[in-house]
Amino acid sequence: CKGINGLNKVVLRESRGNSAEVYLYGGHVTSWKNERGEELLFVSSKAIFNPPKAIRGGIPICFPQFSNHGSLEQHGFARNRFWSIDTDPPPFPTNFSSKVFVDLILKSCEEDMKIWPHSYEFRLRVALEPGGDLMLTSRIRNTNPNGKPFTFTFAYHTYLSVSDIGEVRVEGLETLDYLDNLQKKERFTEQGDAITFESEVDRVYLSTPTKIAVLDHERKRTFVIRKDGLPDTVVWNPWDKKAKAMADFGDEEYKHMLCVEAAAVENSITLKPGEEWKGTLELSAVPSC
């Protein structure tokens, strides 16, 4: 159906009332609600639902480049291209349980090949699990006809909605190494307990576990992030000064969001012609006390 500014979007609804929305612009999940209708993702009240920029919030797809780790535009171009519905996706493993999903596809085009000279097929399945979990599966295939491999970095740039950033803890990244984007991508080792927030954070945690938790005490909710094929985890909150500098982000909104991004950043992924890479993200929101 039609979303903001008449852009096409797909609405997924599960029988217990959970729902999700996906814009074809960016292949971008902009909403994920639990069975009580509570929104679990953050989308800025100033988000612009129109090209050329990506929608601020939800789950932008960063491909074929994460951030400024390369010569392409920040976070690559997939997040500001129009994707199509994939009517004939290759089969999924038989243990795939969701019945509520949509398959999208983005393919290389002449215009993009001027900036990234590769032929690819990027298939994205967005699924609502019977219990309300949101699952994203990306399958990227090298379709170069000339025998050339290609290399990319990737992230599911997930904006979680939180009550108050000062009350949130991230568990699962303790003692790990990270690259600090605020300090020229220098490498540090996390010392503390769980990660808490009192100023701007922009880090790429390396070789992270497949399960990470974000605890929101005030809302009595824990987000559980499960990932596969994505070794790194980006943690980002712009805090007050950067929030003010972003035109599509409210000055105070940094208090109510946290990006925890399943990613492949430190070691880029290389695909030979005919090869396919798969990366999955599964988000759960569970009540906590």
Residue 83 · residue 24 · CB < 8 Å: yes
Write the Ramachandran bin of 5: left for phi over 0, alpha for psi from -120 to 50, otherwise beta.
Answer: left
Residue 268 · residue 76 · CB < 8 Å: no
76 three-state secondary structure: coil
Catalytic option among 75, 129, 157, 282? 157
276 three-state secondary structure: strand
Q: Is 72 in the site for ligand BG6 (CB under 6 A)?
A: no
Q: Is 234 in the site for ligand BG6 (CB under 6 A)?
A: yes
Residues 170-229 contacting ligand BG6, CB under 6 A: 181, 202
Q: How far is the CB of 79 from ligand BG6 (least distance, A)?
A: 8
Q: How far is the CB of 207 from ligand BG6 (least distance, A)?
A: 18
Write the Ramachandran bin of 195: left for phi over 0, alpha for psi from -120 to 50, otherwise beta.
Answer: beta
Which helix H or strand E contains 239, and what residues bound it? helix 239-245
Is 110 assigned a catalytic role?
A: no
Which helix H or strand E contains 74, and what residues bound it? none
Amino acid letter, 203: R
Q: Which is nearer to ligand BG6, 7 or 155 (CB)?
A: 155
Q: Is 69 in the site for ligand BG6 (CB under 6 A)?
A: no
Residue 177 · residue 206 · CB < 8 Å: yes
Please identify which residue in 236, 253, 254, 257 interacts with ligand BG6, judged by CB under 6 A.
236
Q: Is 74 in the site for ligand BG6 (CB under 6 A)?
A: yes
| Residue 74, annotated as binding a ligand | yes
| Residue 183, annotated as binding a ligand | no
Please compute Rg for the chain using Cα positions.
Answer: 18
Q: How far is the CB of 236 from ligand BG6 (least distance, A)?
A: 4
Which helix H or strand E contains 113, and what residues bound it? helix 110-113
Please identify which residue in 81, 123, 157, 255 interacts with ligand BG6, judged by CB under 6 A.
157
Catalytic option among 253, 261, 266, 282? 261
Q: Residue numbers of the site for ligand BG6 (CB under 6 A)?
A: 54, 67, 74-75, 157, 181, 202, 234, 236, 259, 261
Binding-site positions for substrate:
56, 74, 79
- What is the set of active-site residues? 157, 261
